[in-house]
Structure 1
């Protein structure tokens, strides 16, 4: 199983609970949550033993209904929905509920790289807005560690 498969499988149950199917590297013009990969296996730090700290970067694109009516709270509800998903990711980090990145990998942290969702795009004609949440998973990879126990 690739890291892409692992990360998608990790987030999929929560996304299914909130919005149905998790879309991988795709975000349509309808209510949905898409997971867009930014980078994988990016080396953040190398150790003399051969162990490496790596990062898996991803963004979530949350498509929600949008209103041009200043009298309703639809846009506020959409922002709160995206914020709640971001808070859930933070909670997974706090409880150290991490994806299994493989035999030689140990996840250290899932971090959200911002303090609130970005309003990334609005299509007022179609009545939708896209909110973006950027994250990364930090993990150590011991596969090249010359001192690890076998």
Structure 2
């Protein structure tokens, strides 16, 4: 299983995402939609002599939601990401991580930016939060 598949499957267990489909690298124009998008990053943090390595995988959880002049709507949009960050923090405390398959062990899953509006439009906007998965990959030797 690929890392992005494992992350998507894992994020689908989040109760906050139960109301919509979680796409990959695609956020539809309709409100109440979600996407997990890959962020470019150097994956290997530290390499060992036996071929093992400490690695990272960066991704964005994005949603398209209603947007406009109403303060309550914007507060609700940002509160979603606060609650998501709290959920992710709880998963770390209980060491509940994505199953990355044989030879890979997740070590930490963390939020690296707060949720923010990324691309406002007339009545909807893309909001997103960036996250990082740190994991160990066993060497081939």
TM-score between the two structures when normalised by the length of structure 1: 0.83
* Contact kept? 1:122, 1:128, Cα under 8 Å: yes
Q: How many residues align?
A: 139
Partner of 2:118: 120
Distance of aligned partners of 1:16 and 1:133 in 2 relative to their CA distance in 1, 3 Å threshold: closer
**Which of 116, 134, 140 is 2:136 aligned to?**
140
| TM-fit CA distance, 1:16 | 4.1
Which digits, 9 at most, give the CA deviation of each residue in 1:54-74, with x for residues without a partner?
Answer: 1111101121111224xx511
Question: Which whole-Å CA distance do the structure 2 matches of 1:67 and 1:129 have between them?
Answer: 9
The answer to whether the aligner puts 1:11 opposite 2:11 as a matched pair is: yes
| TM-fit CA distance, 1:40 | 7.8
Partner of 1:44: 45
Which digits, 9 at most, give the CA deviation of each residue in 1:55-108, with x for residues without a partner?
Answer: 111101121111224xx5111111111221222122211211001111111111
Question: Which whole-Å CA distance do the structure 1 matches of 2:139 and 2:48 have between them?
Answer: 12
> What are the equivalent positions in structure 2 for 1:1-150 lying under 5 Å apart?
1-14=1-14, 16-17=17-18, 19-31=19-31, 32-39=33-40, 42-69=43-70, 72-114=71-113, 116-123=114-121, 125=122, 127-144=123-140, 146=141
Q: Which runs of 5+ in 1 are unaligned?
A: none
| TM-fit CA distance, 1:48 | 2.6
Q: Which runs of 5+ in 2 are unaligned?
A: none
TM-score between the two structures when normalised by the length of structure 2: 0.88
Which has more radius of gyration? 1
